Amino acid sequence: MTDPQTVQDDVVVSLEYTVRLNDGSIVDSSVGREPLQFLQGHGQVIEGLEQEIHGMRVGETKKFVVTAARAYGERIPEAMEWVPRAAFPAGMDLEPGMGFRLQTASGESIVAYVREVLPDRVLMDFNHPLAGEDLHFEVTITGLRAATSEELAHGHVH
């Protein structure tokens, strides 16, 4: 199979990226690490990113903004809950930003983040840490290749 020339669905994309918030602070970057690799069109990355890189070629760089609604959604202020400190292991050093995978009553797996720590209770935030944030991307496509049939069947890169 010949390698695809542009970013399109069912193609394995490698890209370097830096993500900044509205205030210019960097929240995530592949600089100094391996490029991000994913199967385009399978929801492995946020939809806004897939839409913006569609049609790009290897070596091409692009800057764009993915608004909160197309990234991790708006913040839901009610999606926070105080939990007794005793619900966590006694020796555990709880710090804001720490994530915990929890099981809901219906068996769903969700991640909650520590927002505030008081001596007797901990405020857990069920919003994604980037909810409500517009994401300013700078991406460079570093590689494109056809996905294997196995990768397409699984919906992810091997």
Each residue 116-155 as x (binds Zn ion by CB under 5 A) or -, in order, gives --------------------------------------x-
Helices (H), the chain: 47-53, 149-154
Q: Which of 48, 117, 47, 108 is nearest to 82 (CA)?
A: 117
Least separation, in Å, of the C-beta of 150 and Zn ion? 7
The residues facing 17 across adjacent strands are 139
Least separation, in Å, of the C-beta of 11 and Zn ion? 17
The residue among 83 and 152 lying less far from Zn ion, judged by its C-beta, is 152
The residues facing 113 across adjacent strands are 99, 125
The residue among 103 and 149 lying less far from Zn ion, judged by its C-beta, is 149
Give the span between the Cα atoms of 56 and 41, in whole angstroms. Answer: 14
Asked if 57 interacts with Zn ion (CB under 5 A), we say: no
Q: Which residues in this chain contact Zn ion in the complex, by CB under 5 A? A: 154
